[in-house]
Chain A
Amino acid sequence: MLAELGLASLEALAASVVPADILLPQEIADEGLPAPCGEAEALAELEAIAARNQVRRSLIGLGYHGTATPALIQRHVLENPAWYTAYTPYQAEISQGRLEALLNFQTLISELTGLPIANASLLDEATAAAEAMALSRAVCKRPAASRYLVDEQVLPQTLAVLQTRAEPVGISLELVDASALAADPAAAAAELAVPDVFGLLLQLPATSGLLWDPAPLLAQARAAGVIATVAIDPLAQVLLAPVGELGASIAIGSAQRLGVPMMAGGPHAAFFATEEAYKRQIPGRLVGQSLDAEGRPALRLALQTREQHIRRDKATSNICTAQVLLAVMASFYAVHHGPEGLAAIARRIVTLRAALAAGLAQVGLAPEAGAGFDTLRLVTPRAPELLQRAAAAGFNLRPGSGNGELAISLDELSTPAELEALLNALAPDGASAAAACAACSAALDHAENPLAGLPLRQRPWLQQRVFHQYRSETELLRYIQRLVSKDLSLVHGMIPLGSCTMKLNAAAELAPVSWPAFAQLHPFAPAEQLAGYAQLSQQLEAWLAAITGFAAVSLQPNAGSQGEYAGLLVIRAWHNSRGQGHRDVCLIPTSAHGTNPASAVMAGLRVVPVACDEAGNVDLADLEAKASEHADQLAALMVTYPSTHGVFEPQIRRICALVHERGGQVYLDGANLNAQVGLCKPGLYGADVCHLNLHKTFCIPHGGGGPGVGPIAVAAHLAPLLPGRDLGIGPVSAAPWGSAGILPISWMYIRMMGGRGLRTASCVALLAANLVARRLEPHYPVLFKGEGGWVAHECILDLRPLQRSAGLVVDDLAKRLMDYGFHAPTVSWPVAGTVMVEPTESESLAELDRFCSAMTAIRAEAEAIAEGHSDPANNPLKRAPHTLAAVSADVWDRPYSRSQAAFPAGSDQQASKFWPAVARIDNAYGDRNLVCTCPTVEELAQPLPLAS
């Protein structure tokens, strides 16, 4: 590859591509990083760290519960690279598998909550609450309303994140005793009548465990024009009347306890459901149904225009990567259990809770009265002693805020034997323990209805076929396999998506995620039980700081968009701390990723765009002009480096200096870090904070659309302001370490690669991109290059000439690549009418050859159209992708052959052919006729008989 490019070595390439004034020698780049090692050594080291975690039986609740992950879902979904190496399903024709799993998820949530529009997951329950707050304000008809009523029984981490998210956008939070208001309509009416109030957030069950009927309060809110959100527990909601039917406008929650391990806080899929009227304001991604070119139903991402990548600073939310893999797991959990199985699990928890209460009452520890789902609250001065006795028996119970109470939250894993063990631990002596156990058993045998008096679910639900057909493991195994077979992922071939860095997610990196010592920890367990996680994160933070040239790192943000948001909040807080809180202007190049302006608006900043010059670089003159014009209010510049155009802009030091000279801070978007790890460091060439995408550069798999992790690294002056520090901004995620459970992946990567390996990886990434650019340039103009004619780790190929000569659009190339067995590069971003190719360092020369051959062949197909040899409307590009059904039909009436359609790369392709499940999907039809849940039994011609 080097020879083809006329280079002597990888170092020579690096010296040609990376500007000399920022390129670092190996020794400096290696500082603070380990020496490379093999898989076995790294795994052994990580095992020792994991061993410092202690797996106990955590009955803490607070949003995280034990759950029985079906072994099939663990092995065949969570641990299956065919699921976890897929990208977000933008190329829907080769993503029908996960799109269907997500449609099942949306259907589950919609059926659970009684609200018709449910999205394909949000990042966690706390940020889902913040999104509900934002949507409520956007749709509330009270002008300029800025007060949000929040149930004081909301989860503590939810309140903390709401506080973080409310302040920059001028929302004030008011805590209310919601259950008391529910009992006092006059007081409720008074609160809701205040014209400044736009919304109300309830938590049911309450954090204390209490369940109460929200219907009257929800009705009052609706009548007053106040938008009501209920944060629900999904298992409790199985038994209770859906909150949507009781009058809620929005329902949110976490799907963690539907089969996803606790993982010390995440990743988990949060859910968000709302009324039909708000479907265009809903944050995040929405899977919808449409038709393909052959008239069959096909799934796609619907209503994408509201998302950040299109709407930018007017987006409904900055969310990009969500939690798809975890939503897929939860959807299969529901498919496997069906409504009957879910109800049985929920009922068992309710019954066990009542039985435990009876046992505790027997020994003078009667819990707080009132209906509940899984949680008992004990008010007693003996709380500290009881917590200790439980701990000695292996149970983590939930301490209260003072020393006068504790709580116990049961879960799917709870059994009568567990209750006995608890009672034995908590009872003062053997005799009373025996009495307690007897009372408990008696209560189990003579179960009354503990939920009497609450509105319960009456009508059959979840009647769609998919929740009844796959109840046996054999059936579910085949359904899972059928779905994943429709999806193209890294197990098939290269996914050269520019700026996504679809590199190897090595098995050794992924393996520790499943270790119980990482997966079975509760995020709020006693600190000494999480010592392994503490060490892991400290080490990972130190390595990331070394790599970026910064002083400190926060691993809390659980997506790149959240990292951006946190980084901007840190900058704002710093300005505030110096009496410069009036600084609110954020300069953003027009080439920036859509999350940049969306995050800036959420952080309370005003976006001022900065132009790019013809070379695709930040226009220095425009930057200087805008920075000077707004110098007094300048808060920050957001810059991506290397640029989103794939170029190491030579003026980066000058860009940073221009901003600093006018009192602003430089935020560096680290999405393109894969070009510079081990070669140069943002902290050394002028940035003040950068975010990283661990799900790009650091090998966390993309999961089909999440999970992601977006840490921020900051310079020393900003370190005290990181979330969780003394002077720090508030939390941006529900859990202290964000998606802790997948941090081992990046730890393993850095540990094995070491400083030396990381530098080599970056060099090879640059090499691969430059090879592709060189090979394809004769066929597709390479749009932007750095000095010397080199690109960084990605290149942009211009397809606009083909529009003029052959009437082709970018989508035609993207769909034709499917016939060749490839996922398209990034389409029409950052420049419309182009594709951006990032091969990464993980692809072999053979695979790069295969991709270049496909692109070259497609260029020839385009040329045939331009020269009039092919019909401009009826040719392999316009009619792509070609399904097996079309190619094997009895009638073939196209002016090109079947083999040209389906095997354009020749007979070699027959052994490895990937068939798109559907033909080209009609996007306009899907957005005009939104269908985002599975057809109901009524909607099908004939309901299938329920599985016996």
Chain B
Amino acid sequence: MALSFPADCRYADSHETARRDGELVRIGLSAFAIEQLGDIVFVELPEIGAALKAGSSFGSVESVKAVEDLLAPVGGVVEARNEAVLASPEELQNDPYGEGWLLLVRPGDPAEFDALMDAATYGGKVQA
């Protein structure tokens, strides 16, 4: 199955995605991570206003066979979270780069975003 890695996203080693949204950064999960997890049954996200630290856990995603920590690709403050995904975890599975976003974050350090992998690098890494 061919997975897609949109060019306008950046990617973390731990498979979270980041995409610029004006001054903010929209955080999600890559299609590779979704495929590995299988059927998503539960997502845990922080409250609005929570502080994120790049590389640290901000929540978890649970499938029938695994629970994985979600690690922040960039640090910052949570401006919004996707209540739809919390209510229906399948949304994350069905549209990870669109309706299945996780958090909208006001980033602290712009350098953290630039340090993430681009689509080509990430795609090469996970599909090797």
Contact = CB atoms under 8 A, between A and B. Distances in A.
Interface stretch (A303-311, A325-333, A459-467): A303-311
A928 B41 contact: yes
Interface stretch (B8-16, B18-26, B62-70): B62-70
Contacts of B63: 305, 924
Interface string B77-99: 00000000000011000000000
Interface in A277-333: 280, 304-306, 310-311, 314
Contacts of A927: 41-42, 62, 64
B118 interface: no
B39 A305 contact: no
Contacts of B69: 314
Contacts of A314: 67, 69
Contacts of A311: 67
Nearest to A311: B67
Given A927-B41, A927-B42, A305 B66 contact: yes
A179 B89 CA distance: 45
Contacts of B38: 924
Q: Which of A314, A923, A927 has the most CB of B within 10 A?
A: A927
Contacts of B44: 280
A310 B65 contact: yes
Interface string B45-75: 0000000000000000011111101000000
B89 A928 contact: yes
B64 A923 contact: yes
Which bracket fits the contact residues of A? 10 to 19
A872 to B, nearest CB: 14
Interface string B28-43: 0000000000110110
Which of A304, A311, A924: most chain B Cβ within 10 A? A924
Contacts of B65: 304-305, 310
Contacts of B41: 924, 927-928
A356 B42 CA distance: 55
B70 to A, nearest CB: 13
A305 B44 CA distance: 14
A306 B64 contact: no
B46 to A, nearest CB: 13
Nearest to B39: A924
B36 to A, nearest CB: 11
A914 B64 CA distance: 28
B42 to A, nearest CB: 7
B33 to A, nearest CB: 15
Given A280-B42, A927-B41, A305 B67 contact: yes
Contacts of B89: 928
Contacts of A924: 38-39, 41, 63-64
Nearest to A927: B41
Interface string A660-692: 000000000000000000000000000000000
Nearest to B44: A280
B45 to A, nearest CB: 14
A477 to B, nearest CB: 37
Nearest to A924: B39
B38, B62, B63, B67: residue with the most chain A Cβ atoms closer than 10 Å = B67
A554 to B, nearest CB: 33
A304 B65 CA distance: 7
Nearest to B64: A923
Contacts of A306: 67
Contacts of A304: 64-65
Nearest to A828: B65
A630 B113 CA distance: 34
B67 A310 contact: yes
Nearest to A928: B41
Contact of B66 (A310, A923, A928): A310
A923 B42 CA distance: 13
Contacts of A280: 42, 44, 62
A711 B62 CA distance: 34
- Residue among B42, B44, B69, B90 with most chain A CB within 10 A: B42
Contacts of A305: 62-67
A835 to B, nearest CB: 16
A311 B65 CA distance: 10
A406 to B, nearest CB: 51
Interface string A852-893: 000000000000000000000000000000000000000000
B82 to A, nearest CB: 17
B126 to A, nearest CB: 17
- Output the residue of A280, A305, A314 with the most chain B CB within 10 A: A305
Q: Name the residue in B38, B62, B90 with the highest tally of chain A Cβ atoms < 10 Å from its Cβ.
A: B62
8 contacts: A280-B62, A305-B64, A306-B67, A314-B69, A924-B39, A924-B41, A924-B64, A927-B64
6 A-B pairs with the lowest CB-CB distances in the bound complex, closest first = A924-B39, A927-B41, A305-B67, A923-B64, A928-B41, A305-B62
Given A314-B67, A928-B41, A928-B90, 5 more contacts: A280-B62, A305-B64, A923-B64, A924-B39, A927-B62
